[in-house]
Amino acid sequence: MRAYGFVRVGGPEQQAFLDVEVPEPGPGELLVRVRAAGVNPGDWRVREGSYGTAGPAVLGREVAGTVVALGAGVTGFAPGDEVFGGCPGMVGGWAEQALVTASFAAHRPDGVSPESAAVLPVAAGTAYDALDNLALPAGATLLVNGAGGGVGVPMLQLARSRGLRVVGTASPAKRDLVAGLGAVPVAYGEGVVERIREAAPDGVDGALDLVGGPSLRAVAELVPADRLFSVADKPLVKQLGGREVVRNRDTSVLVELARLVAAGQLDPHVSRVRGLDEAGEALAEVENGHARGKIVLVPGG
């Protein structure tokens, strides 16, 4: 079958279309005919070797599609079911057919499009798990550092649905986006700590960092160390006494996210749908930081 991935670890020049065998679902796996697949920063990090995956390999960490076959021990699904979920080993979704981990898959409700469902497991799932890790009570103030990105957008919505007051740092170009999602926007750059203090005069109860580096170091002083989490810079957050987000890759998380989408309480913000022929351009847009909202690939597009 036709797929898109990389031939060896490295930069964008290693990306290519691949002719690969249709995979056989192993124990605990589903084989699905892909209807939509999400594009994430983790995809180019896989290509660069950050997760230890050597090429040639198919990219893609999340998909929505139609079940074709079941691996051993899989229950609750049947061929023909419309599902969405995460791909095993964090690779494999940018193809005509792909494997999905059954324990991190869910039935797609009729009110949720394949394009919306396909982008829930990675970014929205990370945001959901981060909120569970933080465990802040309603009325608390949450700082989201990097609120205008792929994880930040669902994070703002999910946090507000739990009754949290949210302050979000972002570029000036994303100020209206952050404000429109119910957060108090604060611009990046020199003086950001003072601006956050002005936006949250009673202090910040917890923080999720989606930027890392000096930006994470700057905001770390605003929160207790045990309420500082980072997705973007795990070594630094641990050095600062904080923690990385522990993912809960379970069907129950996907069921709840899909319910929120169907109820109109969570907008995945799919900004662009591209055909698989445009996979390289889609990944470049994400890697260069130019994507506004989520990008979805459609193999038949």
- Where do runs of H (alpha helix) occur along 15-151? 41-48, 114-118, 125-134
C-alpha dihedral, 232 to 108 to 291 to 248, nearest 10°: 0
CA atoms within 13 A on the CB side of 167: 26
- Where do runs of H (alpha helix) occur along 162-220? 175-180, 192-199, 213-219
- 270 burial (CB, 10 Å; 0-12 / 13-18 / 19+) is middle
Q: Are 144 and 153 in contact (CB under 8 A)?
A: no
| Dist CA 295 CA 284 (whole Å) | 11
Q: Is 188 a catalytic residue?
A: no
| Dist CA 100 CA 85 (whole Å) | 6
Distance of CA 102 to the CA centre of its chain: 18
- Where do runs of H (alpha helix) occur along the chain? 41-48, 114-118, 125-134, 152-161, 175-180, 192-199, 213-219, 234-239, 251-262, 279-287
Q: Is residue 83 classed as helix, strand or coil in its secondary structure?
A: strand
Which tokens is 145 given?
């550092």
Catalytic residues: 51
